[in-house]
Structure 1
Amino acid sequence: MDRYIRITDRDSILTARRAAREEGLLIGGTSGTALAAALRLAEELDESHTVVVIIPDSGRNYLSTYFDDEWLTSAGFSDPAEPALSVGSLLPGPAAGVPILPAGLTVGEAIQELVRRGADCSLPAFLALDRGTSFGTVHPREVSAAVTLRSLAAAVESNPRAAFSPAAQQGEPFASVGIGTAVADLAQHPGQLLAVLVDGRIAATARQPFAGPDRSQEPAASGGII
């Protein structure tokens, strides 16, 4: 191998959709990755070169995901049509990442780690597969729970023996929503913690701003980047 080209999930999906739209080729995500890399390489070459790319999979199994506009929005792969009315408007800044804790920590260990980091007591950290990262984006499937320093401390105050129990047992329910999702569509999650997805990964948090079904009020940021 002389070289490899790194392609993001977003580029893979959008390239697969482009192939269907412009060439009538129904290709899958792996093929989208290969084609995106070939197109990037071709930009560096002149007309005397020929690029051959292998298309290894079909898009038939991705009709309800990569080729579905609603799914793209829910997973944070599409840009909002109206940014001011989207989940992104609830964030005080860019969706740069969230605090991450190893999933196997006990309550006491999680408290010690969050205190060491100087974490805000009310902002959540995600217990996830340990990849040696303390801050960044994380795939929802790798997350076992979302916890706060406040909730962990309250558990120990209520029962000192809780310090030796898995921190995940003190997790707060959360809903994963794409950053381009319309705020008006969040009425089903009143007051709930929102794990905001960008390109399929949790990149920020927010709170659902509506106390009830009344959507006449202006949304206010009550969470955001941690």
Structure 2
Amino acid sequence: MAADVPAPPGPDAFDSVLDAIGGTPLIRLARIAPRVYVKAEFLNPGGSVKDRAALAMVLDAERSGALPPGGLIVEGTSGNTGIGLAIVAAQRGYRLTVVVPDKTSSEKTAILRAYGAEVVVTPGAVPQEDPEHVRQVARRVAADRGGWLADQYDNPANPAAHRATTGPEIWRQTHGRITHFVAGVGTGGTVSGAGAYLKEVSGGRVRVVGADPEHSVYSGGDGSPYLVESIGHYRHPDTAEDVWPRSYHRGVVDHVEAIGDRESILTARRLAREEGLLLGASAGTAVAAALRLAARSAPDALIVVVVPDSGRSYLSKYYDDGWLLRLGFPVGHAAGPTVADVVGPLPAPPPAVPATASVGEALADRHPAALRPVGPRRPGSPPGSLSVAEVTGTLDVAELRRLVTAGTARPADPITAHVTDPLPTIGITESPAAARARLGTREAAWIVVDGRIAGSLRNGQLG
């Protein structure tokens, strides 16, 4: 600090916003689970745990000379790391370009632009090797513009930040009484760094639990899309080699708990209404894992769970009843009849027909549904478990069978000529009136439960 600039007047006054990163409190879930404390990372200046890694990565790049004064920072992110980098860049005089997938909430992209970052939006549902993949675009931008790529997925400064700050804070705040540490697994930096410290300082006594979306490959899922942002590991069906982040140190984690989208979202909403904590759905994932852990742990267990960000970045998603209803999630007591009440029990979901299938292959499956979604069939996926995000078309199997019988389609033919556009979607939990309005004059729609295709209905079935 320059000699003519007065020092901060007290211990709670900071020289810059960067000094306010970290030091977040623990908050007991007094109503829901008194043995569970949340590490309130949403209270960081950028609203998330990613502020810690962002600052650590930039400082490390400055020390190494990888990031020159006034240089360009580039990063691929679901949003939160970008926001952390935007704060650091603004305070230390850097330019910033952030590449985000198209499923990133509108609130996050608006926040990034408010800080002055350039935002590049790219498709999220592409293989890792695809030139349009988030990380590939970020690498290309950094190379073309002479920028420094932060690369949170493989940057050792990411987990190191949590080993140096998050872990020691938790140990001090619990007076060493913590028995279980829970954190969502995204890049893996938080659970790896803080988890490693807590295991070391406790002599191996602290158990480290990762929280993961049930379709994420970290917990053994099929890699298909899920609706919780900033967590887990999606694997496109055409990915040649599934490379995991080097920031994720799997040996640190004792167990990975798989949590479904519904449980994650409803837990986040419950935390807002019962604990006064407005958090993102990835926090819902982590807290849901902690609640399961609390239910099977000893009475003297003390569980700390990282809640990574605020629900203010997701008001257009997880806290929007209309958004949830359109995807077939419950939002509480229904004011009247729902689509479920009108259509009654659904048969088993229709299996997807791969876009590369032949007519004969499409007809070989004797599922009774006349309409079938076209999309990938993933090894290990439950039958009929197809995310709305992966539906690429519609196949009328009844019409196709008629064409084969008439001799105008042959079993060896590709189905390509017979695939039409995807149907509109109707959530199983929304009102028939809302569903009718969206269906309009279309002949049919997919029925959606928790963001996945559960069946179809014809126009007129809704009354």
TM-score, length-scaled by structure 1? 0.77
**Aligned pair 1:141/2:393, yes or no?**
no
Task: Give per-residue Cα distances to partners, 1:131-178, cap 9 Å, x unaligned.
Answer: 145831211110111112233356676966997455275325511110
Assess, with a 3 A threshold, how the Cα gap between structure 1 residues 67 and 74 changes in structure 2: closer, same or farther: same
CA shift for structure 1 position 47: 3.3
**Matching residue of 1:179:** 428
1:57 is aligned to 2:304: no
| Aligned match of 1:35 | 287
Counterpart CA distance in 1 for 2:409 and 2:341 is 40
Q: State the match for 1:130 in structure 2.
A: 377
Q: Residue 264 of structure 2 is aligned with which of 2, 8, 12?
A: 12
Unaligned runs of 5+ in 1: 211-217, 220-226
Structure 1 residues 183, 139: closer, same or farther in 2, change over 3 A?
same
**What amino acid maps onto 2:428 in structure 1?**
I
Distance in 2 (CA, whole Å) between partners of 1:168 and 1:144 is 14
Give 1:167's aligned residue: 416
* Contact persistence 2:271–2:279 (CA under 8 A): yes
Change (3 A) 1:99 1:184: same
What residue is the counterpart of 2:363 in the other structure? 115
2-side partners of 1:168 and 1:93: how far apart? 33
SS state at 1:4 partner: strand
Q: Does the 8 Å CA contact 2:373/2:422 hold for their aligned counterparts? A: no
- What's the secondary structure of 2:255's corresponding residue? coil
What is the rounded CA distance, in whole Å, between the counterparts of 2:382 and 2:442 in structure 1? 26
The residue identity in structure 2 corresponding to 1:176 is T
Comparing 132-141 with 191-200, greater Cα deviation is found at 132-141
Letter in 2 for 1:203: A
Amino acid in the other structure paired with 2:366: G
Cα distance in structure 2, aligned partners of 1:194 and 1:23: 38
Q: Is the 8 A contact 1:124 1:148 kept in 2?
A: yes
CA distance in 2, matches of 1:45, 1:168: 56
**Per the alignment, do residues 188 and 59 of structure 1 end up closer, same or farther by CA in structure 2, a change over 3 Å counting?**
closer
In 1, are the aligned partners of 2:259 and 2:285 still within 8 Å (CA)? yes
Please state if 1:81 is matched with 2:306.
Answer: no
Q: Secondary structure of 2:307's partner?
A: coil
Structure 2, unpaired ranges of 5+ = 1-252
Matched letter for residue 295 of structure 2 = E
1:152 to 400, 418, 433: 400
Aligned match of 1:222: none
Rate the CA distance shift 1:24–1:199 in 2: closer, same or farther, 3 A: same
Residue 26 of structure 1 and its aligned partner are, at CA, apart by 1.8
For the pair 1:200 / 2:451, whether they are aligned, the reply is: yes
| Residue aligned with 1:98, SS | coil
1:41 is displaced (CA, Å) by 0.7
2:361 alignment partner AA: E
Q: In structure 2, do the counterparts of structure 1 residues 138 and 78 end up closer, same or farther at CA, with 3 Å as the change threshold? A: same
Aligned residue number for residue 324 of structure 2: 72
Q: Report SS of the residue matched to 2:324.
A: helix
**Aligned pairs, number:** 206
Structure 2: distance between partners of 1:200 and 1:168: 27
The one-letter code matched in structure 1 to 2:269 is R
Quickly say closer, same or farther: Cα 1:95–1:182, change in 2 above 3 A.
farther
Larger Rg: 2
2:457 aligned counterpart, secondary structure: strand
Looking at structure 2, the residues matched to 203 and 181 of structure 1 have their Cα atoms a distance apart, in angstroms, of: 14
Cα gap change, 1:179 to 1:47, in 2 (>3 Å):
same
Q: Following the alignment from structure 2 to structure 1, what is the Cα–Cα distance between the partners of residues 367 and 421?
A: 17
What is the identity percentage for the equivalent residue pairs of Structure 1 and Structure 2?
36
Contact kept, 8 Å, 1:99 with 1:124, in 2: the verdict is no
Shift of 1:205: 1.1
How far apart are 1:62 and its partner, in Å? 1.1
Secondary structure of 1:102 counterpart? coil
Q: Distance in 2 between matches of 1:206 and 1:82?
A: 23
Query: What is the CA–CA distance in structure 1 between the aligned matches of 2:347 and 2:364, rounded to whole Å?
Result: 23
Q: TM-score, normalised by structure 2?
A: 0.40
